[in-house]
Amino acid sequence: MPVFGFFLERNMKYEKSAMICLLHRKKLFVIFLVGALLFTPYLNALDVQVFFHKLSESTPEWMQQQIEADLKPFTTQLSKKYLDRLFNNSDHSFFRIRVINGNMTIEKGEFAKIHGAADSIIPHFQGLNHVVPLPDFDILVSAGDGIGCHANGPAYPIFTISKCREDQGVILMPDWFALQGYEPEKSMVLWGNQEYPWIVKKNVIFFRGSDSGIRDNSSFDAWKKSPRPQLVRLSIKYPHLIDAKFALSLHYGHRHFFDEAQREGYIGDYVPMKDYVRYKYLIDLDGNCASAPRLALMLHSNCVVFKTITNSVQWFYKALKHNVHFIPVKEDFTDLFTQMLWAKEHDQECMQISKNAQKLATEVLSREAVYEYLYRLLIEYSRRQQQQYDQD
């Protein structure tokens, strides 16, 4: 492996807290070797040379802005006393990761013990700690999609995969799909890119998924008013423009009105990710929170992404630009057909938006870039926490 040669040929510099540490090459080799043996399933796609090169460069502006904005509210809330109280008295699915002098300990809350996401995230922290020793920190991580909106509430130092745009009290981190490199779905999308070049794509908007994000399922009519059912209703009315269905079943409406939804045309066949890219226009709309990994996978495709603009955001959203990486659409779809008409009349511009999105996905959503974000976030969090941790 070229990675081993890289470690043998030179000493690597990396950041720990605010200092640049230099390890003896044998020690660094042993650290990587042990990490590779213990965490091969999580590191086999990581190019460590590229990862360290990213750390040697300046922090990307969008990344610096996001980390700074997320950590700014916490002036006293990173103390051990505050985190103890939050962890012990919470009904949320939290788990706690602590690193002291390189040693990592994990503690799961009662709800996190039965939530599979915790076990999808923890090995990546452990693997990262074996690639580059992490600073001392004590963090709480939500095993769920988020902790709700707290725009005017207290600042909660909770690491989550999504949050409300106006909420300044939660810390965004890469989701478990990002940490595992978006595989195997990413490979399916890239295969589809080769199979369906721009010139053969169907000029319709495409969506397949579940009926997540339902705001009211007290009746079939109420269920139909949520965003995803609204999109499917438009597809039923304008099938030559939109192909949107719920794949095979319903989640929120299954017991109550699946048969009725099927009769009215809301249920469609399952379509594998590689075949999404047969369609020129892919639409991303939130479910229970910002969609993961749907948007990231769409950005890797050679399609144009239509994205509804909501108040739910993920860790990389600051890198995205309207009409550069995607075409924005209002959440109520009132401008959907206007935006689609523009796309049909500006095919070359749309193809360029697709290329811009692919370039950004390669730079921002690569395994190495995802780990870089997590590492830089933990470094800055640790620096701020050291000033507060032992305070009463």
174 in the same domain as 257: no
* Same-domain pairing of 197 and 322: yes
* One domain for residues 175 and 215: no
Place of tokens 């940490």: 179
Pair 126, 208 in one domain: no
Within this chain, do residues 226 and 331 fall inside the same structural domain, yes or no? yes
Query: What secondary structure, in 3-state letters, does 195-256 show?
Result: HCCHHHCEEEEEEEECCCCCCCCCCHHHHCCCHHHHHHHHHHHCCCCEEEEEECCCCCCHHH
CA distance 261 to 249: 9
Count of the separate structural domains present in the chain? 2
What number of residues does the chain have?
Answer: 392
CB distance 275 to 189 below 8 Å: no
Centre a 10 Å sphere on the Cβ of residue 154 and count the other Cβ atoms it contains.
9
User: Is 298 found in the same domain as 344?
Assistant: yes
Closest CA to 95 of 75, 76, 68, 123: 123
pTM of the model: 0.86
- The radius of gyration computed from the CA coordinates of the chain, to the nearest angstrom, equals 22
* Residue 379 sits in the same domain as residue 349: no
Same-domain pairing of 17 and 42: yes
Q: Are 52 and 14 in contact (CB under 8 A)?
A: yes
Are 368 and 47 spatial neighbours (Cβ–Cβ below 8 Å)? yes
Determine contact, residues 155/140, Cβ cutoff 8 Å: no
Bridge partners of 305, per DSSP, are 282
Q: What is the pLDDT of residue 258?
A: 85
Strand-strand pairing, 304-309 and 158-160: unpaired
- Are residues 300 and 160 both part of a single domain? no
Judge contact between 301 and 282, C-beta under 8 A.
Answer: yes
Report d(CA 308, CA 312) in Å as an integer. 10
Backbone angles phi, psi at 204, to 5 degrees: -135, 160
Nearest to 139 by CA among 168, 170, 162: 170
Same-domain check for residues 223 and 262: yes
258 with 335, same domain: the answer is: yes
- Phi and psi at 143, nearest 5°, equal -80, -10
Tell me: do 216 and 352 sit in the same domain: yes
**Which one, of 194, 204, 193, 242, lies nearest residue 343 by Cα?**
204
- What is the domain-level CATH number for residue 326? 3.40.50.2000
**Which three-class secondary structure state does DSSP give residue 21?**
strand
Domain of residue 143 covers 1-179+368-392
My answer on whether omega of the bond before 227 falls inside 30° of 0, hence cis, is: no
Tens-digit pLDDT profile for the chain (392 aa)? Answer: 333 232 223 233 333 333 333 333 334 334 334 444 444 444 557 899 999 999 999 999 999 999 999 999 999 999 999 999 999 886 778 999 999 999 999 999 888 877 778 889 999 999 999 999 999 999 999 988 777 777 777 788 999 999 988 887 899 999 999 999 999 999 999 999 999 999 999 999 999 988 888 888 888 898 899 999 999 999 999 999 999 999 878 876 666 788 888 999 999 999 988 999 999 999 999 877 778 899 999 999 999 999 999 989 999 999 999 999 999 999 999 999 999 999 999 999 999 999 999 999 999 999 999 999 999 999 999 999 999 998 76
